[in-house]
Amino acid sequence: MHPLDSASNEAMVWNDRVFSWSLLDEYVHSTSRRLKEIGVKYGARVLVEAVPSAGTVIVLLSLWHIGAVACPFDPRLPEGLAQAIRRKVAPFLLLTASSSDKRFPGLRTFMTDDVICLEPVERFMAGSSGSNGLSDGREATVLFTSGSSGDPKAVLHTFKAHWMNAKGAGQVIPFAAGDRWLMALPLHRISGIAVIFRALYGRGAMVLPGKNFPDIADAILKYKPTHISLVSSQFLRLLEVLPQEAWKPLKAVLIGGAPVPERLMERAAQYSLPVFLTYGMTETGSQIATSPLNEARECGGARVIPFREVNLINGEICVRGDILFKGYIDGDDTEIPLDENGWFHTGDEGTFAPPFLTVTGRRDRMFISGGENVFPEVIEKALLSLDQVVSARVEPKDDPLFGRVSKAYIRLKQGVAFDDTQFKRLLKERLFPFQVPKEFIVDPDYPFPEK
């Protein structure tokens, strides 16, 4: 463990090791030099296996320092999707956590640990971990998100987009020197990358749980973070296992992704937790709208945060501003899906009473049942309001009478028995008859979405 000048000088915590900003700068500069030695140049795209470690953060910062484009991917990436990602990105090389990674045959490969210089050296350039060069229009990241065809989309972002997101987020949820943000969401997602840029902007510390504390609850007890980002399922579990006093150091609990069950919001309000509800997406660099829990419940939506504009076009949420991505890349081609006025059409339906934005569902998930428009998100929210349900996903199924009807996949709390009649009765108190699922599948292994 490296001694710090003061707690406010913390930049990163991993396992039992603490990095000050000056020490992190030295690691980044020495690693940048090593990356240059193996041929990484300005503008080069580099695939990075995004294991949750200090090494991954150092590599990302080092690539950005050079001016290379970091392309972090899920360590669980199946071989079947690896070639699609490779074709879209056309990477210069691969940085992987394992010497036996066979997902990208023929691609020049280095182990992450082999390119990180663990012994700091004298800096040969200035300010790698500061704001220098991190707010311009250079390409910074390629992040992968699911496409409607099943092929991942490659979302290209600039430093300016990431920086303006961090700047806007900081005006809603301050994150400054002396604070700690526990990185409970993956580094290959925008939610993880956003925390890095918030730390660079506000000089708060990134905390990676690490292999010694793989469980988030244990990490909260150990590191006493002031900030954390979670999805609803994580929040539900933490409320069940953590004592109320464990939440006291937290200044902000940012909840995004799937609809937040009402019972979670009631529990958070009961504990007086500093919960913020947020809506965002990869293409917008993270957040679009964020509000404290009480404000979101009272106003029925979240407040659009600075440095982005929101508009409804035929009921669809549209966004524009410096926070937008540069486009979807596919080899040498870049698709920039903006309309003639610069609006990005999110595919989400909603209502907007400035400054409050409410999301009602996805256009591409809506289906018609007996002449009625059905939004699966509405049904999922009702299912999640039931105390017995941990996770829920609703999909359409063909029906000879109504054309299509709802089919619900659910995961129940441990020890709860499923009763079809009881579930339908409870849902009829919350939904129109045409919205109540005609079939339930209790499946703990279904790939319930976390975003």
Q: Convert the chain into a string of H (helix), E (strand) and C (coil).
A: CCCCCCHHHEEEEECCEEEEHHHHHHHHHHHHHHHHHCCCCCCCEEEEECCCCHHHHHHHHHHHHHCCEEEEECCCCCHHHHHHHHHHHCCCEEEECCCCCCCCCCCCEEEHHHHCCCCCCCCCCCCCCCCCCCCCCCEEEEEEEECCCCCEEEEEEEHHHHHHHHHHHHHHCCCCCCCEEECCCCCCCHHHHHHHHHHHHHCCEEEECCCCCCCHHHHHHHHCCCEEEEEHHHHHHHHHHCCHHHHCCCCEEEEECCCCCHHHHHHHHHHCCCEEEEEEEHHHCEEEEEEEHHHHHHHCCEEECCCCEEEEECCEEEEECCCCCCEEEECCEEECCECCCCCEEEEEEEEEECCEEEEEEECCCCEEECCEEECHHHHHHHHHCCCCEEEEEEEEEEECCCEEEEEEEEEECCCCCCCHHHHHHHHHCCCCHHHCCCEEEECCCCCCCCC
The residue type found at 125 is M
Same-domain pairing of 110 and 254:
no
As given in the structure block, the two tokens for residue 260 are: 């937040």
Q: Is a pLDDT exceeding 50 seen at residue 130?
A: no
Q: Is a pLDDT exceeding 80 seen at residue 230?
A: yes
Domain count, the chain: 3
Of the given ranges (19-23, 186-190, 338-342, 361-365), which has the lowest mean pLDDT? Answer: 361-365
| Bigger pLDDT: 10 vs 372 | 10
Contact between 323 and 280 under an 8 Å Cβ cutoff? The reply is no
CATH (domain of 422): 3.30.300.30
| Mean local confidence (pLDDT), 100-110 | 92
CB crowding 84-123: b at 16 or more within 10 Å, else e: bbbebbebbbbbbbeeebebbeeeebbbbeebbbeebeee
Same-domain pairing of 376 and 355:
no
What pLDDT score was predicted for residue 399? 84
Same-domain pairing of 314 and 380:
no
Residue 327 lies in a domain: no
Same-domain pairing of 110 and 161:
no
Same-domain pairing of 377 and 272:
no
Q: Is 371 left (phi over 0), alpha (psi -120 to 50) or beta?
A: left
Same-domain pairing of 376 and 423:
yes
What pLDDT score was predicted for residue 148? 42
**Domain of 408, in residue numbers:** 367-442
What pLDDT score was predicted for residue 258? 60
Residue 2 lies in a domain: yes
Model confidence pLDDT, tens digit, residues 262-305: 778 888 888 899 999 999 999 999 999 999 999 998 998 999 99
Same-domain pairing of 379 and 311:
no
Residue 328 lies in a domain: no
Say how far apart CA 56 and CA 15 lie, in whole Å. 14
Of the given ranges (200-209, 214-223, 344-353), which has the lowest mean pLDDT? Answer: 214-223
As given in the structure block, the two tokens for residue 155 are: 């979302």
What pLDDT score was predicted for residue 213? 55
Residue 409 lies in a domain: yes
The pLDDT mean for the chain works out to: 88
Say how far apart CA 410 and CA 183 lie, in whole Å. 27
Same-domain pairing of 69 and 113:
yes
| Mean local confidence (pLDDT), 43-66 | 96
Q: Kindly report the CA angle at 89 between 88 and 91, in degrees rounded to 5?
A: 140
Model confidence pLDDT, tens digit, residues 427-448: 988 888 889 999 999 988 888 8
CATH (domain of 105): 3.40.50.980
Same-domain pairing of 416 and 354:
no
As given in the structure block, the two tokens for residue 302 are: 């979240």
Q: Is a pLDDT exceeding 90 seen at residue 373?
A: no
Same-domain pairing of 85 and 225:
no
Same-domain pairing of 346 and 379:
no
Peptide bond into 292 cis (omega under 30): no
Residue 134 lies in a domain: no
Say how far apart CA 125 and CA 418 lie, in whole Å. 62
Model confidence pLDDT, tens digit, residues 383-435: 998 989 999 999 999 887 788 899 999 999 988 999 999 999 999 888 888 89
Residue 85 lies in a domain: yes
Say how far apart CA 207 and CA 223 lie, in whole Å. 8
CATH (domain of 214): 3.40.50.12780
Same-domain pairing of 223 and 258:
yes
pTM for the whole structure: 0.83
Say how far apart CA 249 and CA 114 lie, in whole Å. 37
Model confidence pLDDT, tens digit, residues 77-94: 888 789 989 999 999 999
What pLDDT score was predicted for residue 432? 82
Residue 136 lies in a domain: no
| Mean local confidence (pLDDT), 196-218 | 87
Residue 247 lies in a domain: yes
